Amino acid sequence: MATIRVQEAPFDAGAELDAFAAGRTDVGAVVTFNGVVRDDGGALAEMLIEHYPGMTERAIGKIVEEAVRRWSLADCLVIHRYGAMKPGDRIMMVATAAPHRADAFAAAEYLMDYLKSRAPFWKKERSADGESWVAAKDEDEAALDRW
């Protein structure tokens, strides 16, 4: 009932959305979130995302399982890329489908909060000045407390 894909290749968010929960008549709400490579200072050349093959899929699987347990969902999709990306490129996508929108919104937020700090990905930014690892933010950790 859930789809999880961890991949290097880009994905077509529009096509994914069209295919998601297609043909189901018990779904009244679909929520999607897309994570995009942001260039704050105009100097970012590339973002490099590393992950832990094996653990990544397991960790996302557990997060999705918990979302399915907490909310009434008809379907759930997580796509997360790794490798090299340019500013403006899509990094990841979450979609939730539910009979009612409250469940779809809440589950999507929950998935995003946990993917941010409990799925083994690490981001590195490369600019003309050199390379640096993106540090985890305290507020991302704190965001988990609300659940």
Partner 1 sequence: MTIDVLYFAWVRERIGQPRERVETSAATVAELVEELRGREPRYEAAFADLNALRVALDQELSDFDAPLTGVREVAFFPPMTGG
In angstroms, give the least distance from the CB of 35 to partner 1: 5
- Exposed e or buried b for every residue in 60-78, given b needs 16+ CB within 10 A? beebbeebbeebebbbbbb
For residue 126, state whether it binds partner 1 (rule: CB under 8 A).
no
Spatial distance between the Cα atoms of 21 and 41, rounded to a whole number of angstroms: 38
Residue 91 is encoded by which pair of tokens? 């990094």
In whole angstroms, give the CA distance from residue 130 to residue 125: 8
Q: What is the DSSP letter of 15?
A: H
Q: According to the binding rule CB under 8 A, does residue 81 interact with partner 1?
A: no
Q: What is the 3-state secondary structure (H, E, C) of 99-131?
A: CCHHHHHHHHHHHHHHHHHHCCEEEEEEECCEE
> Does 115 contact partner 1 by CB under 8 A?
yes
Asked if 44 touches partner 1 (CB under 8 A), the answer is no
Given the rule CB under 8 A, which of 12-20, 66-74, 99-107, 115-123 is the region that contacts partner 1? 115-123
Residue 121 within binding range of partner 1, rule CB under 8 A = yes
Quick one: which segment of 18-26, 68-76, 97-105, 122-130 binds partner 1 (CB under 8 A)? 122-130
Based on the shown chain and the rule CB under 8 A, indicate whether residue 112 belongs to the binding site for partner 1.
Answer: yes
- Output the smallest distance, CB 24 to partner 1, in A: 27
Task: Establish if 11 lies at the interface with partner 1 (CB under 8 A).
Answer: no
CA–CA gap between residue 136 and residue 134 (Å, rounded):
7
* 147 counts as binding partner 1 under rule CB under 8 A: no
93: its two tokens: 């996508």
Q: Which residues sit at the interface with partner 1, rule CB under 8 A?
A: 35, 50, 52, 54-55, 58-59, 80, 91-92, 112, 115-124, 133-136, 141
